[in-house]
Structure 1
């Protein structure tokens, strides 16, 4: 039996508040699972290196590893319009960033690629991209704009900084009419083929966490407030923008994103989202 199937499964999960409706109530006491929370970019590296076996990871990382992974049905971090926590903060209008330096958060893959796609589609050219730790003030010392995601973006969105703020989920939806999927729950095709019960167990674990989270959003909101402050109304509005499902309709948006990433040279070959599993 392969090591992947014989040992305790190492499952990655996004550590930010955008995943709380799925992850807050997940049972972490199972002797067969170990959880590794991290930023999307960390999870992507762990998955690519085989340091985790499966998990809720960046959709762009899934696309890069699509030959070897499937996405579990019913689980994602998506939006259909504004996402509320992926922002480009800019000193000038987005259409005027040609020839400028733009700072990218080191914690992202999907959103970094999405920004490159959007700027390319707008016609912004000759951008000098630099990857930095996610600190808005530091990033903007030398750059005209900065991309932040998740909790860092939420913190930036409530500050009085006088910058133009662009929600990338909204920009994508406005320009394409598609939903945007930022993260999926990926499991190896080898697991699905050799031991589908383990893949189903991972899916059931996350789906049960999501069911409990949506059934008790006040507790999820309380956890977000404890972590980051703000009001209950703030978090109700924020979580109301997010979609944590994944089905054929959302796959259309994900595939449009993958197609655009390939078209802009960010993926080496065309990719389609392969859904697996039954939500029931």
Structure 2
């Protein structure tokens, strides 16, 4: 009986030690994973080709490299892949979208993404080769606008600000479309198209509402617009990361770099006409 009791006691001690070691191993593994995340120094940042890719390359990348990071800029040509690539870990952050689009896209696709900070953004503008002012716009004029969720709501809001249309009460800003127009006193013929096509339509249509990045890509002069957008903060582009990385060191460093005087200097010198967010203008 004594031998059986001693054997049982030894077995109990072994189980306790194994369990303790296993728990420590799990804790050590979690701590190691967290430390690796915080110490990550090689980053891939996605951006749509054009001015925001340029902003990452010219204003963010050099300043992050001064902090010891290795930065690869990954360019995209649509508004879908940058978030999917971020969610699946192909990239570590992206810059191409405003908060309204981010919230809807993340909800629709069950993605856990979070904004880090807003950046200077290009205002949308109403352009025409036929009219020199909003007051000159003729009845029945044809207007092309972007058909993607990122820009359509902004286009309609700019038309409202100019007094050209009104929107139905209760229209959802995230899903708003031309079907939500309540009044159209000038009987504008509104044609939604892919945003990249809009600059070219100015030769064959009366008016075009062109998002700033596509206007610059087409070498359009922002100051030639009949009217530029008075941007709401929720429509300014944001740097985005996976929510699990929102408190990581690299996310904190991205925010610190963008809030720096060196970043603003590059914006002032190389991104003239970009509309600065409130956190930058109210410093």
The residue aligned with 2:64 is 27
Q: In the alignment, does 2:74 pair up with 1:36?
A: yes
- Larger-gyration structure (1/2): 2
Moved over 6 A (4+): none
Q: In the alignment, does 2:156 pair up with 1:116?
A: yes
Q: In the alignment, does 2:221 pair up with 1:157?
A: yes
Unaligned runs of 5+ in 1: 173-177, 225-234, 250-280
From 133, 143, 146, the counterpart of 1:102: 143
From 211, 216, 230, the counterpart of 2:260: 211
State TM-score, norm by structure 2: 0.53
Q: Alignment length, in residue pairs?
A: 206
Aligned with 1:77: secondary structure?
Answer: coil
TM superposition shift of 1:127: 2.0
Supply the distance in 2 between the matched residues of 1:184 and 1:150 (Cα, whole angstroms): 15
Supply the distance in 2 between the matched residues of 1:102 and 1:72 (Cα, whole angstroms): 35
Q: 1:191 to 1:208 in 2, by over 3 A?
A: closer
TM superposition shift of 1:189: 1.9
Supply the distance in 2 between the matched residues of 1:52 and 1:71 (Cα, whole angstroms): 15
Aligned with 1:42: secondary structure?
Answer: coil
TM superposition shift of 1:135: 6.4
CA deviation map 1:193-247 (0-9, x unaligned) = xxx32xx3133135325415346x2x555545xxxxxxxxxx4xx35x4237489
The residue aligned with 2:44 is 10
Supply the distance in 2 between the matched residues of 1:214 and 1:89 (Cα, whole angstroms): 30
TM superposition shift of 1:151: 5.3
- Does structure 1 conserve the Cα–Cα contact (< 8 Å) formed by 2:141 and 2:189? yes
State TM-score, norm by structure 1: 0.53
Report matched runs for 1:1-280 at 5 Å.
9-13=43-47, 15-16=50-51, 19=55, 22-23=59-60, 25-28=62-65, 33-38=71-76, 42=78, 44-49=80-85, 50=87, 51-59=90-98, 60-67=100-107, 68-73=112-117, 75-77=118-120, 85-90=123-128, 91=130, 101-104=142-145, 110-119=150-159, 122-123=165-166, 124=184, 127-131=190-194, 133-134=196-197, 136=199, 138-150=200-212, 152-154=214-216, 155-157=219-221, 165-169=226-230, 179=233, 181-192=235-246, 196-197=247-248, 200-214=249-263, 217=265, 221-223=268-270, 235=272, 238=273, 241-243=275-277, 245=279
TM superposition shift of 1:116: 2.5
The residue aligned with 1:227 is none
- Does structure 1 conserve the Cα–Cα contact (< 8 Å) formed by 2:61 and 2:71? no
- Does structure 2 conserve the Cα–Cα contact (< 8 Å) formed by 1:69 and 1:189? yes
- Does structure 2 conserve the Cα–Cα contact (< 8 Å) formed by 1:86 and 1:150? yes
Unaligned runs of 5+ in 2: 1-29, 167-183
